[in-house]
């Protein structure tokens, strides 16, 4: 983590949509890049559900339905996948709740749920200011404040330290409450404390950490509950413990618990001698506890003044949400006016990157020409840009005199918007048919163009399953049926990605069309998924948290336009000559003697780039200007060099956020095309018919002469592929001048189901001119998760 002086707070100022009124006592959770806020109070208790899209900077009010709960404040609020649970809170002054509501965010459907009471003892009493924490299929309720009086106008506070466990049903609903028997000394009664749950990656049982709170006086004690042994303990900590506080927030990122804000004692007050009488105020202090070493670190002390408004001002009762490694803070109160008998609430939204971003996936080839590459890489959440670099064995020649930025270069000003884009096209580069290749898993996300009714696009697969980042495997592709030199595709190439995205609202299924090379248009329909094998408009999202299907149309350089209708779960993907090599994680390392110098292609806002030139750094010199805490060159001072035909180039990419430039990806290597061969076929379509499926495509956009024939191939099951699943074997199923063919049910019965990413049948299509066959387009026809024969 950066030193306190280097913390790079960012205030979000350019958002759109209906901004919720300032408040305190609200709660927030995150579903992928969406921050969902409910409840709170300021001149009345709020009952709306507000959603903020951290990618598009848009606020919106979803159209909720069902058993809509009353507004509440200081309630429990947890998220399990795309369902949210709300428990308790204050529903009006002096009247507290012990009701439980569930929100299915995929449909914005509220439901009141009634858990079974404990087998021994009473269910939780109405309360506010409790902690409500989720781990696995259980929620853990601790403490809070109850009203002993039956008259809501006559408030008799009772602080609680009871502990309950709530078992959840899978997907929806709850089982019931239980009262676990715990060991050790129980924490003292309290409210407005925080509780988080953390489990070490490799070992150890999950533990709940309770910090601070209020019990007549503010508290600064830390308690730990082992959720396997149900043993309470007070861990011994190192470092400076934060001041006693309540109404603060605690957020876990990695192995750190970040504590921000809250009510603390006034400077100079001796809280030990007069805990009940001293004055209290809000704070903007910021600390974290390393949960592995039990050491506190102060990032912003309580005594540090902020005269430049460079970080959030003091507040309490705010909300904090972790999205990736970024922390968002919104609203809260920063004081109390006795004369007006009212709170003063903040209206601002801030975020802070807590660490440098991780390395992106390897750069993947979308399309290669004689003098350019269209490349992409998997999106990294909550970043502000990407630094793309290349190097080559060629000597660096004199660059062109044009020193202006390349067309896709986004300059050096980073923007919190990062609308993802996926592109879809083909190409590749190999001189022999059976050479080793690397097959790249396609980008699993897309971005919706900014429209008032399409505000909450999400990168479904990548965000929900970060472990599913791009994997690569070598494919020694053997082709059956006379696939000899100049009689079959040299290599499989990428025609693009049929992406899955999740929009959590009711939306209008239409979108504008753009021909930008870095844009993708997505149609979203609220069609319910019925069966795995049904033909749908686009990719089936096979996850219990989603109830929608999607159609995607992507256009890149007028190639590979996947239609929005009559597609049976098609996913296209690239295979290109590529090498997996680890690269140094330091993006500004000094160039050693004899080492190839990495040259910048530029800083890109999105995760695609059209590369036709690169920048030449003066020999031995590296970064000479800054983006936040990141060093980057001043491109206006650098010369550029063009790519040349038939040449191999190595690529790597690093993500940039407020903490600087992260580590580089593994290296990928691609080769520009040799003039004269045809490009890859595009706009592949697959639709079912009575004979099997109908496979069609468009001619290459660059035929380089007359097309003499096309060949289509199907990956088939063989004993060889069973022994080595990464080695695909192809059979030619069509050769002719037509741009379509029928693949019979009998041929499909022999198809190999490829499980390198999502289950799919793999086709390759290539074109031949007078010089021979050009690169092939590879298409993956998604089959769902079953292992039955296709078309079943």
* 113: its two tokens: 């749920």
User: Cα–Cα distance between 27 and 15 in angstroms, integer?
Assistant: 20
Which residues are CB-neighbours of 442 under 8 A, at least 6 positions away?
A: 364, 422, 494, 496, 497, 498, 499, 571, 572, 573, 574, 757, 780
Domains in the chain: ranges and CATH = 16-267+278-353 (2.120.10.80), 356-393+597-617+638-674 (2.60.40.10), 685-782 (2.60.40.10)
Which residues are CB-neighbours of 486 under 8 A, at least 6 positions away?
A: 768, 772, 773
- What does the chain come to in residues? 792
* 398: its two tokens: 């004199």
Q: What is the pLDDT of residue 629?
A: 55
Q: What is the pLDDT of residue 481?
A: 30
Residues 180-211 pLDDT 10s: 999 999 999 999 999 999 999 877 899 999 99
- Taking Cα atoms as reference points, which of 372, 266, 321 lies closest to residue 679? 372
Residues 323-357 pLDDT 10s: 999 999 999 998 655 555 556 899 999 999 999 99
> DSSP character for 6?
G
Q: What is the pLDDT of residue 338?
A: 53
Q: What is the pLDDT of residue 791?
A: 56
Label residue 633 exposed, middle or buried (CB < 10 Å: 0-12, 13-18, 19+).
buried
Q: How far is CA 715 from the centre of its chain?
A: 32
Q: What is the pLDDT of residue 775?
A: 81
Neighbours of 178 (CB within 10 A): 18
Q: What is the pLDDT of residue 562?
A: 25
Say what the pTM is.
0.67
> DSSP character for 155?
-
Q: Which residue has the tokens 């060889």?
A: 720
Q: How many helices (H) and strands (E) are present in the chain, helices listed first? A: 3, 58
Q: What is the pLDDT of residue 144?
A: 98
- List of the chain residues with pLDDT < 70: 1-6, 267-278, 305, 307, 335-343, 395-595, 619-632, 720-726, 756-757, 785-792
């Amino acid at each position: 983590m950066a030193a306190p002086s280097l913390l790079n707070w960012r205030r979000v100022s350019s958002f759109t949509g209906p901004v919720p009124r300032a408040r305190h006592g609200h709660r927030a959770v995150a579903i992928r890049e969406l921050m969902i806020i409910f409840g709170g109070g300021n001149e009345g208790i709020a009952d709306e559900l507000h959603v903020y899209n951290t990618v598009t900077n848009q606020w919106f009010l979803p159209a909720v339905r069902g058993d809509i709960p009353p507004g509440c404040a200081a309630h429990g609020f947890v998220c399990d996948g795309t369902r949210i649970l709300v428990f308790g809170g204050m529903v009006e002054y002096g009247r507290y709740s012990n009701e439980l509501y569930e929100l299915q965010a995929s449909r914005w459907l509220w439901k009141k749920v009634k858990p079974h009471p404990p087998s021994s003892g009473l269910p939780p009493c109405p309360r506010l200011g409790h902690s409500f924490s989720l781990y696995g299929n259980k929620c853990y309720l601790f403490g809070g404040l109850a009203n002993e009086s039956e008259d809501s106008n006559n408030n008799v506070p009772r602080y609680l330290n009871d502990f309950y466990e709530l078992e959840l049903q899978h997907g929806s609903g709850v089982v019931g409450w239980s009262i676990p028997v715990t060991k050790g000394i129980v924490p003292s009664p309290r409210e407005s404390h925080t509780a988080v749950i953390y489990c070490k990656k490799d070992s150890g049982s999950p533990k709940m950490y309770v910090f601070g709170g209020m019990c007549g006086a503010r508290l600064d004690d830390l308690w730990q509950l082992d959720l396997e042994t149900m043993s309470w303990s007070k861990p011994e900590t190192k470092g400076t413990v934060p001041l006693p506080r309540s109404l603060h927030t605690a957020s876990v990122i990695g192995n750190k618990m970040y504590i921000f804000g809250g009510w603390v004692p006034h400077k100079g007050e001796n809280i030990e001698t007069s805990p009940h009488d001293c004055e209290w105020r809000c704070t903007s202090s910021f600390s974290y506890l390393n949960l592995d070493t039990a050491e506190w670190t102060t990032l912003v002390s309580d005594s540090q003044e902020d005269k430049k408004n460079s970080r959030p001002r003091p507040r309490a009762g705010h909300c904090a949400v972790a999205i990736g490694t970024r922390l968002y803070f919104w609203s809260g109160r920063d004081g109390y006016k006795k004369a007006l008998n009212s709170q003063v609430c903040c209206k601002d939204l801030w975020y802070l990157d807590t660490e440098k971003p991780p390395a992106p996936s390897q750069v993947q080839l979308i399309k290669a020409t004689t003098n350019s590459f269209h490349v992409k890489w998997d999106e990294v959440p909550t970043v502000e840009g990407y630094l793309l670099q290349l190097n080559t064995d060629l000597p660096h020649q004199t660059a062109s005199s044009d020193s202006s930025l390349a067309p896709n270069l986004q300059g050096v000003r980073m923007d919190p918007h990062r609308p993802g884009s996926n592109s879809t096209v083909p190409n590749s580069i190999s001189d022999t048919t059976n050479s080793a290749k690397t097959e790249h898993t396609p980008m699993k996300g897309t971005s919706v163009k900014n429209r008032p009714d399409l505000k909450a696009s999400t990168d479904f697969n990548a965000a929900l399953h970060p472990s599913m980042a791009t994997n690569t495997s070598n494919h020694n592709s053997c082709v059956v049926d006379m696939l000899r030199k100049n009689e079959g595709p040299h290599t499989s190439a990428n025609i693009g990605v049929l992406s899955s995205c999740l929009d959590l609202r009711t939306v209008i299924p239409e979108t504008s069309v753009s021909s930008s090379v870095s844009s993708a248009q997505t149609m979203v329909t609220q069609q319910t998924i019925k069966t795995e094998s049904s033909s749908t408009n686009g990719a089936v999202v096979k996850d219990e948290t989603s109830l929608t299907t999607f159609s995607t149309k992507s256009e890149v350089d007028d190639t590979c336009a996947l239609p929005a209708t009559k597609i049976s779960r098609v996913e296209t993907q690239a295979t290109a000559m590529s090498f997996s090599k680890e690269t140094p994680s330091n993006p500004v390392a000094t160039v050693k003697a004899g080492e190839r110098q990495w040259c910048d292609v530029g800083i890109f806002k999105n995760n695609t780039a059209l590369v036709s030139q690169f920048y030449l750094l003066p020999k031995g010199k590296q970064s000479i200007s800054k983006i936040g805490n990141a060093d980057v060159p001043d491109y206006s001072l650098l010369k550029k060099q063009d790519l040349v035909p038939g040449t191999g180039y190595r690529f790597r990419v690093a993500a940039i956020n407020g903490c600087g430039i992260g580590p580089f990806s593994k290296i990928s290597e691609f080769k520009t095309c040799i003039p004269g061969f045809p490009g890859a076929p595009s706009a592949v379509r697959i639709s079912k018919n009575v004979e099997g499926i109908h496979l069609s495509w468009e001619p290459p956009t660059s035929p380089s002469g007359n097309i003499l024939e096309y060949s289509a191939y199907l990956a088939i099951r063989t004993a060889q592929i069973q022994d080595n699943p990464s080695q695909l074997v192809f059979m030619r199923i069509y050769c002719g001048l037509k741009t379509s063919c029928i693949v019979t049910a009998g041929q499909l019965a022999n198809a190999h189901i490829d499980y390198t990413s999502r289950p799919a049948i793999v086709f390759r299509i290539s074109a031949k001119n007078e010089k021979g066959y050009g690169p092939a387009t590879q298409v993956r026809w998604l089959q769902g998760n079953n292992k039955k024969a296709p078309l079943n």
